[in-house]
Amino acid sequence: MEPISLDVLLASVGKEVGVSPWRVVSQRMIDQFADATDDHQFIHCDPERAKRETP
């Protein structure tokens, strides 16, 4: 990635930049991220509990 100036960055406000295709994020990927970051918050790692206990 090339560095850009503040002027170029500010000119990008409100515009789409870096558009990429959709990616399906699986529960396995979420669990692996939780392992890597040591963030095992139930809202991410326990879909059934999250469904019951969150809006």
What's the predicted TM-score (pTM) here?
Answer: 0.62
User: Mean pLDDT throughout 33-38?
Assistant: 97
User: Mean pLDDT throughout 18-31?
Assistant: 95
Residue 40 contacts residue 47 (beta carbons within 8 Å): no
Q: To the nearest 5 percent, what fractions of the chain are helix, strand and coil?
A: 50, 0, 50
At residue 24, the pLDDT reads: 98
Task: Provide the mean pLDDT of the chain.
Answer: 95
* Band of pLDDT at residue 8, cut at 50, 70 and 90: very high
User: Mean pLDDT throughout 15-42?
Assistant: 96
